[in-house]
Structure 1
Amino acid sequence: MESGGPPRNCEEEAIRDFGVSEDELALTFRLLRVKELPAWANTSCVSINDVIKGDILVAILSNYMVDMDWLLSACPTIAKVPNVMVIHGEGDGTLEHMKRRKPANWILHKPRLPISFGTHHSKAMFLVYPRGVRIIVHTANLIYVDWNNKSQGLWMQDFPWKEEKKPGKGCGFENDLVDYLSMLKWPEFTVKLPNLGSISINASFFKKFDYSHAAVRLIASVPGYHTGANLRKWGHMKLQSVLQECTFDNEFKRSPLVYQFSSLGSLDEKWMTELAISMSSGYAEDKTPLGLGVPQIIWPTVEDVRCSLEGYAAGNAIPGPLKNIEKGFLKKYWAKWKASHSGRCRAMPHIKTFTRYNGQKLAWFLLTSSNLSKAAWGALQKNNSQLMIRSYELGVLFLPSSRRRYGSGFSCTSNGGPSMDNSGSLADSEELRTTLVTLKWQGTSDSASEVIPLPVPYELPPKPYTSEDVPWSWDRRYSKKDVYGQVWPRTVQLYTSQD
């Protein structure tokens, strides 16, 4: 992806040079286009119609907030899909409106939340095509402001149907996907598909696709008290178990962590250590553990929100109650949202990312719906024998691979590009190490490794807060006027027709 040659100056406006070829899309993620930004800042960025397109037979849209009026007008393709299910987390008021506005053939499903204060928060799309399935994992609610005004991320990969003759055993990605979907317990529905006839759409249906070239691992959360074999299946314990199987460059020993998110739960030092242990898992090439990393928390300041593209209204989507924000032990973690190289200093983050880095190199990178909370990541109980999770979450984990596991540009929507090669694009014996880097990385790659640039929107290393910086909390009063002459609190309209 990144060729040798003279290093370019990729300090300012580095996103200008971010190009992704069709056959390498799944190896990285993309930022969502932001309406008010200059063209350079939207290089290789996407919006909803760039991903929901083509001849879709079945669409399953998973989200938290859904503005049905906006979705149907912003994405005309979805209105033409014969079978659509929306898995959502909406409350009763919005749900009634959704029921009135949805096309007759659409199914709405809200998964069970057995533990109080949980949400269905996962943001994903599963689009079935004649040629295969497109899986999209992203961070945006299905509402106007999330797809136009905020810093957001989206990953996508297309997978072909399995060959009838070679069902093959499932890979990690397939097992994790089917396990997660089966926990949603949606009402099965039957559809007619070309060449397959009538078929039931349930979690097992998704075993019909070949995920052997998946470029990422899934890290999901589902509500419950998880014990035994399920302890390491979800939340931060799943991340821990996947990282423990990985070997990283020696340079990542004791290297720092970044937690970047848009909603802050009620935390304590004990749980922060529990999370850091999981986030610090993995081994160095010399077979020793990487060791504990010190985390920084990237969180917008009051001034960032006031001066943002949306003014104080942006703060409505950064729910940090003062009682959670002002805890003394958090002070040492606060770091600034600085995103000049992606043009997103004023596009407030709704993206959630967790990473371990050294300079501009990344050991691993997680793009997820999970905020920093026990509800999302889970908290260990009963002498660490049980993990309690309240919410549904979904994320994709980018890892350095020792060979190319991924496909060579299989696409559900275009016939062009190289065809899928069953052995992957390299023979197993040809070791090719991939290195994950930010857009500001300025090295050169050698022939033994491929450099994968990830459009991390913020700067690394993050700058710690100064004594003048105040972390945003949404339940305080701010009388200094924003860019629209408004003060906070104020009413913010999030839905096209708000009752």
Structure 2
Amino acid sequence: MVASGVQRFDGSRIYLNKLGGDGGSNDPNELTFADIIGDKTTIKAVFLSSFGCDIEWLLEHFAFGTPIVLVDDYDRKRGAMAEIQQPFGEVWSQMKIVHPYFETGGLYDSGTMHAKLIIIERAQALRVCISSSNLTPQDWEGVSQCIWVADFKAANDFEAPARKRVKPDHTSDFGDQLARFIETFFRSIPDSSSLWSYWVKVLTGSRFNVKLPKGVELIASAPGYWKGRR
């Protein structure tokens, strides 16, 4: 949905990526990576996860100095079992790349970090995007992908509290689930609490109501695992 030139997403549908980038069709059912990011000048902070990333392409979509946490796949050739890198040093000190820990031995030898998550914090809204695309132009512009994206408005300080009792709504657990998911990336990394605790507060605090729209359920997949008759 577009209002006053700003694209808003209510989380009620699945989009496809626009093949060919900006030069593709004008189909309203398709989105570019730039559509997901929106106005980069209004972004306060970003959390990203991907199985591989084109850093140069990625940073074209963000203003210089934006606080960014990128969780990338773990490559044992990098050396450390789990670490946080600061690739641009003090020039862009708030750009952090996290390589999470993975168990080794047996089935664990094939473990990789496949989650594709984008969380964008702005003053008045929090955007959450879950897609099948890694953070590369090849994935976003050259291969068909599925995209779910939703905006969660900031709480209205002048809104009167509800007086009537309401039934428990388990969709309100979404923010808690995302927070726990993010925290697991940092469990084996010393002195990392400032990174994950920031996003836990954003997702579970009172500022944003991170709640799935009515009728929407997101189901996490477990690659390589299947249980059932079919």
Q: TM-score, normalised by structure 1?
A: 0.35
What residue identity is the alignment partner of 2:52? M
Residues 1:125 and 1:56: Cα distance change in structure 2 (over 3 Å): same
User: Structure 1 residue 206 and structure 2 residue 203: aligned?
Assistant: yes
The alignment partner of 1:189 has SS state of helix
Residues 1:61 and 1:166: Cα distance change in structure 2 (over 3 Å): farther
- Cα-to-partner distance string for 1:257-287 (whole Å, 9 max, x where unaligned): xxxxxxx95xxxxx75x2x45xxxxxxxxxx
- Cα-to-partner distance string for 1:269-314 (whole Å, 9 max, x where unaligned): xx75x2x45xxxxxxxxxxxxxxxx5xxxxxxxxxxxxxxxxxxxx
Candidates 109, 113, 116, aligned match of 1:120: 113
User: Structure 1 residue 70 and structure 2 residue 87: aligned?
Assistant: no
What residue identity is the alignment partner of 2:13? T
Taking the aligned partners of 1:43 and 1:131, their CA distance within structure 2 comes to 24
Taking the aligned partners of 1:101 and 1:82, their CA distance within structure 2 comes to 13
Residues 1:93 and 1:104: Cα distance change in structure 2 (over 3 Å): farther
Q: How does 1:24-423 map to 2 (within 5 A)?
A: 25-35=10-20, 39=25, 42-54=27-39, 55-73=42-60, 75=61, 78-80=62-64, 82-91=66-75, 100=87, 103-114=92-103, 115-162=108-155, 171-185=172-186, 187-189=192-194, 201-208=198-205, 209-214=208-213, 216-220=216-220, 235=222, 274=227, 276=228
Larger radius of gyration: 1
The alignment partner of 2:30 has SS state of coil
> Could you tell me which residue of structure 2 aligns to residue 438 of structure 1?
none
Q: What's the CA shift for 1:179?
A: 2.7
Q: What's the CA shift for 1:93?
A: 5.9
Residues 1:174 and 1:119: Cα distance change in structure 2 (over 3 Å): same
The alignment partner of 1:159 has SS state of strand
Taking the aligned partners of 2:77 and 2:114, their CA distance within structure 1 comes to 18
Unpaired runs of at least 5, structure 1: 1-19, 191-199, 222-234, 236-263, 266-270, 278-293, 295-499
Give the RMSD, CA atoms, in angstroms. Answer: 3.6
Residues 1:218 and 1:48: Cα distance change in structure 2 (over 3 Å): same
Residues 1:49 and 1:138: Cα distance change in structure 2 (over 3 Å): same
Residues 1:24 and 1:111: Cα distance change in structure 2 (over 3 Å): closer
Taking the aligned partners of 2:66 and 2:24, their CA distance within structure 1 comes to 37
Q: What's the CA shift for 1:35?
A: 1.0
- Alpha carbons 2:10, 2:213 under 8 Å: kept: no
**Share of identical aligned residues, percent?**
18
Taking the aligned partners of 1:160 and 1:188, their CA distance within structure 2 comes to 26
Taking the aligned partners of 1:213 and 1:133, their CA distance within structure 2 comes to 13
- Cα-to-partner distance string for 1:4-24 (whole Å, 9 max, x where unaligned): xxxxxxxxxxxxxxxx66666
Residues 1:152 and 1:213: Cα distance change in structure 2 (over 3 Å): closer
Q: What's the CA shift for 1:80?
A: 3.1
Taking the aligned partners of 2:161 and 2:175, their CA distance within structure 1 comes to 15
Taking the aligned partners of 1:124 and 1:63, their CA distance within structure 2 comes to 7
Taking the aligned partners of 2:79 and 2:149, their CA distance within structure 1 comes to 28
Taking the aligned partners of 1:24 and 1:93, their CA distance within structure 2 comes to 39
- Alpha carbons 2:18, 2:31 under 8 Å: kept: yes
What residue identity is the alignment partner of 2:173? G
Residues 1:214 and 1:180: Cα distance change in structure 2 (over 3 Å): farther
The alignment partner of 1:28 has SS state of strand
Residues 1:101 and 1:146: Cα distance change in structure 2 (over 3 Å): farther
- Cα-to-partner distance string for 1:10-42 (whole Å, 9 max, x where unaligned): xxxxxxxxxx666664210111111188636x4
Q: What's the CA shift for 1:51?
A: 1.2
Q: TM-score, normalised by structure 2?
A: 0.69
Taking the aligned partners of 1:51 and 1:61, their CA distance within structure 2 comes to 12
Q: What's the CA shift for 1:161?
A: 2.9
Taking the aligned partners of 1:24 and 1:149, their CA distance within structure 2 comes to 23
What residue identity is the alignment partner of 1:68? I
Stretch deviating more after TM superposition (128-137 or 180-189): 180-189
Length, aligned pairs only: 198
Taking the aligned partners of 2:126 and 2:79, their CA distance within structure 1 comes to 28
Stretch deviating more after TM superposition (57-66 or 79-88): 79-88
Q: What's the CA shift for 1:61?
A: 0.8
Unpaired runs of at least 5, structure 2: none
The alignment partner of 1:89 has SS state of coil
